Amino acid sequence: MLNRNGAIYLVLIVLLGTVGAIFPFDWRSVDWGLTALELSVLLAYGPAFITLAQQRRYIGELPFLPQYPEVLGIGLLAYGWVVVGAVSGRWLDSIGAGLLSVTGVALGYVAVRAVSEAGRRAILSAKPNAKPGLKPIMDPGLRQCYLLRVAAALLSLVASFTVLKGGGAEALWFAVCASVAGLSAAVLAAALGLALYHQSRRGKQTAAGVIASEELARGPAEVALYCSDSAKAKHLAIKRIASSLAAERVRTAIIARESHALPLLNKFSADYVWFAPYMGALDALARPGLKVVFYTHDGIKNGHFVRYNQYVHILDATTGSLSRADTPPKALTMYDFVIAPDQDTAQRWRSHADPRQAEMIVVIDSFRFKVPDADYFLFSGANVSDPVPEPDPLCFTSYRALIDHAFAHKQGAAQS
């Protein structure tokens, strides 16, 4: 959407063109009508000389094409050449030179957008490598494409004023040079796109080494929290588990599958946040130091990482619709363990599961007693002579206790 400055800018361009065309007048040997038209043409070239970020900030974009701010700049150039043709009367020269030069500027715009898109795709393709080495290629490339676009715009401006002064043939040469500058930007963008593609492939191949060097400096992650959810998710379960693991001094990594979750996940108490937008990127995250992977909801993408059967996969069903279910989750067999919200729910789920699945349903309760004390008899109403209930062997006082039990269970099953 055009901001206030942009609206004033466009009104000024149109006003100068209208006044110059309808009310031509001479004063002190100066054709002020022609001057107003020339100033209108000059202002029409303004957006072509600034970056798209600057245009969005100072002018804005068309309300019906907000995702393509370049259209405003190209449209103003076309307006400028229409004014040139109307003032000079050289419509053939204006159309020829205008088409060539505006095409050159448009190619410059396309080149900048193409390099930006190629860089974005390369960054995603190189994940989970956070340092794929794309910046030394992308930043100078964007700058060079932008400068070629500015050169095309400047040559187009010179061509337009050359037509106004009666130089049709000379204007055509300037327009050809403008189109060559735009074509050069397009060729450069293609070369940069190819370079970014190859660099992203190298970055993806070295992702495991980059993560290994980080783990060597800070220590390997022992637990991973797998995050895949909608853009509206608050990831409260992941935040809670990450905070508990940090308090228990368990080194933790969060595996994010969607980019929209990264700003929030980076605020959590995790040692690492790894981004894996594609299934192939998960191979580098199958770290040898990992023991356990937690999942906070039974999502479709969970299967992408459950396939690594060297880890213990635990579904945390303590929140959301999973915690309110009367029966265990349907995908219970997909995981090694499922955490129930409380002991009552755990007992209910176990009653609906076979004996092997019942051993997979666990509870984390930091207040679980080991030896009955006076408070137990005081608040429970039990007598000292009454039999003391046996503690649930699948109820753990901490995530660390669950991790140790689950990992030992996994090793025992592998050896048997």
Inter-residue contact 328 to 361 (CB < 8 Å): yes
Give the tokens for residue 309: 């059967």
Which residues of the chain are modeled with pLDDT < 50? Answer: 369-371, 376-379, 384, 388
Does the domain made of 220-415 have the CATH classification 3.40.50.2300? Answer: no
Helices and strands counted in the chain (H then E): 16, 10
pLDDT at 323: 80
Cα(237)–Cα(214) distance, integer angstroms: 26
pLDDT at 371: 46
Cα(382)–Cα(384) distance, integer angstroms: 7
What's the pTM? Answer: 0.72
Cα(293)–Cα(311) distance, integer angstroms: 7
* Element containing residue 277 per DSSP (H, E): none
Cα(153)–Cα(105) distance, integer angstroms: 6
Give the residue range(s) of CATH 3.40.50.720 domains in the chain. 220-415
Cα(131)–Cα(207) distance, integer angstroms: 8
The candidate with the shortest Cα–Cα distance to 107, out of 155, 140, 66, is 155
Inter-residue contact 326 to 346 (CB < 8 Å): no
Please tell me what DSSP assigns to residue 316.
Answer: E
pLDDT at 24: 60
Cα(260)–Cα(257) distance, integer angstroms: 9
Inter-residue contact 54 to 112 (CB < 8 Å): no
| 170 Ramachandran zone, left/alpha/beta (phi>0; psi -120 to 50) | alpha
pLDDT at 119: 92
pLDDT at 391: 62
pLDDT at 386: 54
